[in-house]
Amino acid sequence: MKILLLGSNGQLGYEAHRTLFCYGDLIAVDYPEIDFTKPDEVVRLIKKINPDLIYNAVAYTDVDKAEQEPEKAMLVNSHTPGEIANYCKKNNVPLIHFSTDYVFDGDKNALYTEEDIPNPINVYGKTKLDGEFAIIESGCDYLIFRTSWVYSMRAGGFVNKVIQWAQQNEILRIVDDQIGNPTWARMLAITSTSFIEKNKNNIREFLYDNNGIFHLAGGGYASRFEWTKAIIEYLSKDHTINVKDIVPTKSNEFPTPAKRPLFSALNCEKFEKKFMMKIPHWENSLKLMLNQ
């Protein structure tokens, strides 16, 4: 089976590269070899590769910058995934794609299920929801995994930012009113690909039968404040950490260009039942990643 991984340098794509290569002939590409602002070129490249399965880890993920670049975010998160899905429909190629907890407005104050109605409150969330619609409307066989608060040791993620802040400051002020599921990119890569091995001889039929949106994120949930406390606690033996106190604060003290949903944690039971997998609790994944 020929598998095409789009976006092999991102947090998820980097880890997916290391799991997918066990399951078939893997071709992994990233920017600038593919540029999702140029949908025709992306589809041309896919045609040339002629894959049996596409795993799309490309996304425009800068939530604040998306407010200033809505057209670019829409191309990368919606238009091009829609064109890929049209290609998939025409050529009977199954598609695995990722979306976000930010399709929700955060007003439910309880875990979101796949039955809840999305209502994004920022550009990023709107473009990701539009991407979901484009894929569904194409009629292709797809799995869309909505995930949340993805982290890894790759540059830029929240865990790395906390480590850097904790090396440079004695006091950290972290919001305790934003709640989500911290999701280790490696856990996400493993859980979103392991069914491929079991179904590699009938992957098209498997996606045809199991087609749909699934919530897939770290088990349990936490505020950014609780997440930060856990990171610092697990790093307690690290002598580069200078922080002495972490002070809870509120989102309105840190205005950002994009509004964020306050409670966007996802209920992942549908995934666990369908794929017969237990998603590890976010704290266990965090400990493993920090090598504690």
Give me the 46-75 binding string for ligand NAP, x by CB under 6 A, dash otherwise.
Answer: -----------xxxxx--------------
Sign of the C-alpha dihedral, residues 235, 237, 238, 242?
A: positive
> What SS3 class is residue 146?
strand
Query: Using the rule CB under 6 A, is 76 a contact of ligand NAP?
Result: yes
CA distance 81 to 138: 10
Query: Using the rule CB under 6 A, is 112 a contact of ligand NAP?
Result: no
Q: Residue 209: count other Cβ atoms within 10 Å of its Cβ.
A: 10
CB of 160 vs ligand NAP, minimal distance in Å: 12
Select from 18, 27, 37, 248 the one that contacts ligand NAP (CB under 6 A): 37
Choices 33-41, 218-226, 234-242, 248-256; region in contact with ligand NAP by CB under 6 A: 33-41
In DSSP notation, 192-251 reads: TTHHHHHTTTSHHHHHHHH-EEEE---BS-EEHHHHHHHHHHHTTT-TT----EEEEE-G
CB of 186 vs ligand NAP, minimal distance in Å: 11
Question: Is the CB of 13 or the CB of 94 nearer to ligand NAP?
Answer: 13
Question: Is the CB of 148 or the CB of 193 nearer to ligand NAP?
Answer: 148
* Binding residues with ligand NAP: total (CB under 6 A): 26
CB of 5 vs ligand NAP, minimal distance in Å: 10
The dihedrals phi and psi of 25, each to the nearest 5 degrees, come to -85, 110
Residue 87 among the catalytic residues? no
CB of 234 vs ligand NAP, minimal distance in Å: 20
Catalytic residue, chosen from 23, 55, 124, 151, is 124
Question: Is the CB of 41 or the CB of 177 nearer to ligand NAP?
Answer: 41
> What SS3 class is residue 155?
coil
Query: Using the rule CB under 6 A, is 120 a contact of ligand NAP?
Result: no
Give me the 131-170 binding string for ligand NAP, x by CB under 6 A, dash otherwise.
Answer: ----------------xxxx--------------------
CA distance 264 to 177: 11
Residue listed under structure tokens 């140029």: 38
Question: Is the CB of 241 or the CB of 258 nearer to ligand NAP?
Answer: 258
CB of 225 vs ligand NAP, minimal distance in Å: 17
CA distance 188 to 184: 6
What are the structure tokens assigned to 46, written together? 């896919």
Query: Using the rule CB under 6 A, is 130 a contact of ligand NAP?
Result: no
Residue nearest to ligand NAP (CB): 10
Q: Where are the alpha helices (DSSP H) in the chain?
A: 11-20, 39-49, 70-74, 80-91, 123-138, 158-168, 185-191, 194-198, 203-210, 224-234, 269-275, 282-289
Query: Using the rule CB under 6 A, is 223 a contact of ligand NAP?
Result: no
> What SS3 class is residue 5?
strand
Residue 45 · residue 34 · CB < 8 Å: yes
CB of 292 vs ligand NAP, minimal distance in Å: 22
| Residues in contact with ligand NAP by the rule CB under 6 A | 7, 9-13, 30-31, 34-37, 57-61, 76, 98, 100-101, 128, 147-150
Which residues are catalytic, by number?
Answer: 124
